Chains A and B, each alone.
Chain A
């Protein structure tokens, strides 16, 4: 039996360190686990969509360079729940927190 921690997947393609760090902080504050994986992909939407579909919790984040997107399983690839081209610190925190809140079923920030 393979035992995996239920976690939010973050698929990254050469991510900006500050963006990645603040998104992770946003998730951590909400108390949910996350896993970061390097992946190569055409777009941040692709990364997020794949991450959401691979995560058993159904919540995934894609980060490509400065851009970041939040996706949930069951939503069309072209319509991420939340996406930024170059998010500031509070937007990163918010994106991370919302990835966690999507699982906790509490209202988004």
Chain B
């Protein structure tokens, strides 16, 4: 009796599986576990995660890591995925010239035009000239209302901009009703004696004058040339409930198209394509190119830097003389990124066009033997590098009840989407495609403007709900659930993620429907595109109809909606497609680790 451990190092997760091999060669599986991969896949830093996962697995059955007699490492495919985001357009406002935001409670309604007058200069105002009053937070709503009421006979105050959240309080105390915008944090940046137009929308509506270039032109008396330059401002104010536009003499707004650079494909049919042609054109070019030897970017452009950075990272793994590092695949995805407008006053953002890119780097070989040697020294257990990843994944996938050869597996991980077809004779065809779970997280992070990768990962993993009262919430599919014990008031009125250990609160105020559509779209863009790309490459005669069964394995196959999306897409091709269930118990995870243990039985003398 001996304990055999299989270890699978992935881009993001390290999985282990431990089985007992009897004298007759039968394998009896005992335990499995997984941990986040430490360091880049294929480096000695991986040993930390391997040890942690082994300890976790062995403690499940109350035994020690030293009881293991053999550890089998997979010969990891020498491919590493990396992702990057490239913005293609940008909006620059020189000289502060706009505020557009959604304070929860602005007051009054309508538009007003006037010269900016600071509250402390109120006494210096002259009659018969319209003013927009700007008031910092240190004045109370009573003081403001009192002063405005006092001067209302002599001065023409047309509208008010407040720093504090007191618009309704001030308006309720005014004799003459005015549009009032509040919660303008950087009120100190407002230049005095400059013409400004403000607008507050009626309840339930959004502004319509300041989100229209001709509306701004009407209010601020702009000529045709000035109207053209103000268009990006109008565009970025669409959908807001209140806005301020300033007419600064030197002010200028530019919408730049950034030089994104060209991508060179060194392939069967070498060609090049400009990044700003968009994802669709780029992917067409990648498909037309045939077998790709290497991909590079135009030097001194963003894409050039990005691709060479990925290659440099890879060359640190394999520093041998004959290291042979190539980018063999990219996946480009169109996206919109909310980018902070440089020059805006209240942290406004503008949706800019962007392209998300995942690249796949291939080297001659990963230094797996070095990992094996380190592990052997540190654990004092025999370690062997065994088996090709795709074959092992196939062996593991076959333990799913209801599967038989020939079989296609689609391994959807964090860094890459891999496909393999195993024929009845056991011959394996495989491919590795750039783009998987990490690209989805990056798309979610940018499109929602989260600036927080961890939160994006959580959004990817869990369904949403909106807490509508302390005793019920509405799930994203429209269902309602009621709870006995009142929900913590911290979650009241918020969008939350439903995780195994309770709720995670969305800090940003984004409607649930928007998050759901961004999340689903990101998954569709990456996984549906890649599933077809990958399977077409490995299918006999490149014909999808020749594939009858697809088993989905890997971390992203655990996702609560990706497998269903793929099932729907594959239904048209009469392909049986479903989430794998390794050993009938593990779900789609642990296929490679299981395959490694199983293959031990076959290799024994």
A residues whose Cβ falls under 8 Å from a Cβ of B: 25, 28-31, 72, 74-76, 79, 81-82, 93, 101-102, 104-108
Per-residue interface assignment for chain B, residues 159 to 177, with 1 indicating a CB less than 8 Å from any chain A CB and 0 otherwise: 0000001111100100000
**Closest chain B CB from A73 CB (angstroms):** 9
**Closest chain A CB from B182 CB (angstroms):** 9
B residues whose Cβ falls under 8 Å from a Cβ of A: 104-105, 141, 165-169, 172, 468-471, 486, 489-490, 492-494, 509
Task: Given A105-B493, A107-B494, verify A29-B166 contact (CB < 8 Å).
Answer: yes
Number of residue pairs across A and B with beta carbons under 8 Å?
47
Closest 9 CB pairs of A and B: A107-B493, A81-B489, A29-B168, A107-B494, A106-B493, A29-B169, A75-B486, A105-B493, A108-B492
Q: List 6 A-B contacts (CB under 8 A).
A: A30-B168, A75-B486, A93-B165, A101-B492, A104-B493, A108-B492
Q: Which residue of chain A lies nearest to B466 when distances are taken between CB atoms in the complex?
A: A105
Tell me which residues across on chain A come within 8 A of B490, comparing CB atoms: 108
Q: Bound complex: CA of A28 vs CA of B168, how far in Å? A: 7
Q: Bound complex: CA of A35 vs CA of B135, how far in Å? A: 30
- Asked if B509 and A107 make an inter-chain contact with CB atoms under 8 angstroms apart, the answer reads yes
- Asked if A105 and B469 make an inter-chain contact with CB atoms under 8 angstroms apart, the answer reads yes
4 more A-B residue pairs beyond the given contacts A30-B168, A105-B468, with a C-beta to C-beta distance below 8 A? A28-B169, A29-B168, A29-B169, A82-B489
**Closest chain B CB from A5 CB (angstroms):** 16
**Closest chain A CB from B484 CB (angstroms):** 11
- Asked if A28 and B172 make an inter-chain contact with CB atoms under 8 angstroms apart, the answer reads yes
Task: Given A29-B165, A29-B168, A82-B489, verify A106-B470 contact (CB < 8 Å).
Answer: no
Tell me which residues across on chain B come within 8 A of A75, comparing CB atoms: 470, 486
Q: Interface SS of chain B: helix, strand, loop or mixed?
A: loop
Q: Bound complex: CA of A101 vs CA of B470, how far in Å? A: 13
**Closest chain A CB from B510 CB (angstroms):** 11
Tell me which residues across on chain A come within 8 A of B167, comparing CB atoms: 29
Tell me which residues across on chain B come within 8 A of A104, comparing CB atoms: 493
Q: Which residue of chain B lies nearest to A28 when distances are taken between CB atoms in the complex?
A: B169
**Closest chain A CB from B109 CB (angstroms):** 13
**Closest chain A CB from B82 CB (angstroms):** 37
Q: Bound complex: CA of A65 vs CA of B471, how far in Å? A: 31
Task: Given A28-B169, A29-B165, A105-B469, verify A74-B486 contact (CB < 8 Å).
Answer: yes
Tell me which residues across on chain A come within 8 A of B105, comparing CB atoms: 29-31
- Asked if B471 and A106 make an inter-chain contact with CB atoms under 8 angstroms apart, the answer reads no
Tell me which residues across on chain A come within 8 A of B471, comparing CB atoms: 74
**Closest chain B CB from A93 CB (angstroms):** 8
Q: Which residue of chain A lies nearest to B469 when distances are taken between CB atoms in the complex?
A: A105
Q: Bound complex: CA of A108 vs CA of B505, how far in Å? A: 12
Most buried by A among B172, B470, B471, B490: B470
Q: Bound complex: CA of A30 vs CA of B509, how far in Å? A: 17
Most buried by B among A81, A93, A101, A107: A107
Q: Bound complex: CA of A101 vs CA of B509, how far in Å? A: 15
Q: Which residue of chain B lies nearest to A75 when distances are taken between CB atoms in the complex?
A: B486
Q: Bound complex: CA of A31 vs CA of B167, how far in Å? A: 11
Q: Which residue of chain A lies nearest to B104 when distances are taken between CB atoms in the complex?
A: A106
Tell me which residues across on chain A come within 8 A of B470, comparing CB atoms: 72, 74-75
**Closest chain A CB from B106 CB (angstroms):** 11
**Closest chain A CB from B429 CB (angstroms):** 52
**Closest chain A CB from B354 CB (angstroms):** 29
- Asked if A25 and B493 make an inter-chain contact with CB atoms under 8 angstroms apart, the answer reads no
Selected from A25, A72, A102, A108, the residue in CB contact (under 8 A) with B169 is A25
Selected from A31, A106, A108, the residue in CB contact (under 8 A) with B168 is A31
Q: Bound complex: CA of A101 vs CA of B494, how far in Å? A: 11
Tell me which residues across on chain A come within 8 A of B509, comparing CB atoms: 107
Q: Which residue of chain B lies nearest to A106 when distances are taken between CB atoms in the complex?
A: B493
Task: Given A74-B486, A101-B493, A108-B489, verify A25-B468 contact (CB < 8 Å).
Answer: no
Q: Which residue of chain A lies nearest to B168 when distances are taken between CB atoms in the complex?
A: A29
Tell me which residues across on chain A come within 8 A of B493, comparing CB atoms: 101, 104-108
Q: Bound complex: CA of A75 vs CA of B471, how far in Å? A: 10
Most buried by A among B468, B469, B492: B492
- Asked if A102 and B492 make an inter-chain contact with CB atoms under 8 angstroms apart, the answer reads yes
Q: Bound complex: CA of A84 vs CA of B468, how far in Å? A: 25
**Closest chain B CB from A69 CB (angstroms):** 12
Tell me which residues across on chain B come within 8 A of A28, comparing CB atoms: 168-169, 172
Task: Given A74-B486, A105-B493, A107-B493, verify A25-B141 contact (CB < 8 Å).
Answer: yes
**Closest chain B CB from A55 CB (angstroms):** 15
Q: Which residue of chain B lies nearest to A104 when distances are taken between CB atoms in the complex?
A: B493
Tell me which residues across on chain B come within 8 A of A74, comparing CB atoms: 470-471, 486
**Closest chain B CB from A38 CB (angstroms):** 24
**Closest chain A CB from B460 CB (angstroms):** 23
Selected from A31, A76, A107, the residue in CB contact (under 8 A) with B492 is A107
